[in-house]
Amino acid sequence: MEWGKFITVEGIEGVGKSTNIDTLVERIEAAGHKVLTTREPGGTPFAEDIREILMNRSDEPVPEIAELLLMFAARSFNVNNVIVPALEAGTWVVCDRFTDSTRAYQGGGRGLPMETIDRVADWVHGDTWPDLTILLDAPVEVGMERAGNRSKPDRFEQERHEFFQRVRECYLQIAASEPDRFVVIDTTRTIDEVREQMSALADLLIGA
Ligand code: TMP
């Protein structure tokens, strides 16, 4: 049985991950592939509990290294219990965030060393890396404005503009350093233009 393809979607808050994931999934399913969508942190009951703690507990300072390890603890559940079994069964997996989020937020945003992050990543998921990563990009002001219209901000959304600026820059650097795996989409373009680009990407993946 041929393994499914593993696709991840990345970007700062407010760049439109959910809508664009829907477009991508619809197109891949229409071509006859089974698709599983998941998200990080989260994706399994245990990992969703870790997500709840990571996003919403604010009664105690969270050391950066604890944040990093909890992200990877959640990822270990998702990789072992959801992602790899699906890929093995030939199902395609579209994951809303993965280790590039850890590189951008805990590395770029919080300043943890990239070598440490990559060493833990290797330990947690070895060769399980996405076949394709779509980076949805927009200036921080644009993302913040869109995200700001939603409900109560979580622990990450409460960060300052400079934090997200570092996260965005780090994402763009990672994308530039791995051009074979990354596609960057400018989400300041019209909704229709972005949808077109997502559909074109899906067509490339399915070989249409
Ligand atoms: P979201 O999936 O709803 O966008 O929220 C997840 C938040 O968690 C977002 O602010 C990014 C952050 N995050 C990290 O800091 N590191 C990670 O490894 C992951 C997966 C998410």
Domain boundaries, the chain: 6-207
Assess whether pLDDT exceeds 80 at residue 150.
Answer: no
C-alpha dihedral, 92 to 125 to 39 to 154, nearest 10°: -170
Phi, psi of 144 (to 5 degrees): -65, -40
Please count the other Cβ atoms lying within 10 Å of the Cβ belonging to residue 58.
10
What is the rounded average pLDDT of the residues 196-202? 93
Q: Looking at residue 208, what is its pLDDT?
A: 63
Question: Which residue, by CA, sits nearest to atom 16 of ligand 1?
Answer: 102
- The best mutation among 156, 171, 187 to test binding of ligand 1, ranked by most ligand atoms within 8 Å of the C-beta, falls on 156
Of the CA atoms within 13 Å of residue 86, those in its CB half-sphere come to 21
Question: Which residue, by CA, sits nearest to atom 1 of ligand 1?
Answer: 13
CATH 1.10.287.130 matches 6-207: no
Q: Does ligand 1 have an atom closer than 6 angstroms to the CB of 182? A: no
pLDDT in tens, 49-70: 999 999 999 889 999 999 999 9
Distance 136 CA to ligand 1 centre (A): 14
Pick the atom of ligand 1 nearest to 71's CA. 18
- The best mutation among 10, 101, 135, 170 to test binding of ligand 1, ranked by most ligand atoms within 8 Å of the C-beta, falls on 101
The C-alpha atoms of residue 40 and residue 185 are separated, in whole angstroms, by: 20
User: Is pTM beyond 0.95 here?
Assistant: yes
Q: Looking at residue 18, what is its pLDDT?
A: 94
Q: What is the DSSP string of 48-99?
A: HHHHHHHHH--SS---HHHHHHHHHHHHHHHIIIIIHHHHHTT-EEEEES-H
Pick the atom of ligand 1 nearest to 17's CA. 4
The C-alpha atoms of residue 181 and residue 177 are separated, in whole angstroms, by: 9
Q: Does ligand 1 have an atom closer than 6 angstroms to the CB of 27? A: no
Q: Does ligand 1 have an atom closer than 6 angstroms to the CB of 105? A: yes
Q: Does ligand 1 have an atom closer than 6 angstroms to the CB of 133? A: no
pLDDT in tens, 77-131: 999 999 999 999 999 999 999 999 999 999 999 999 999 999 999 999 999 999 9
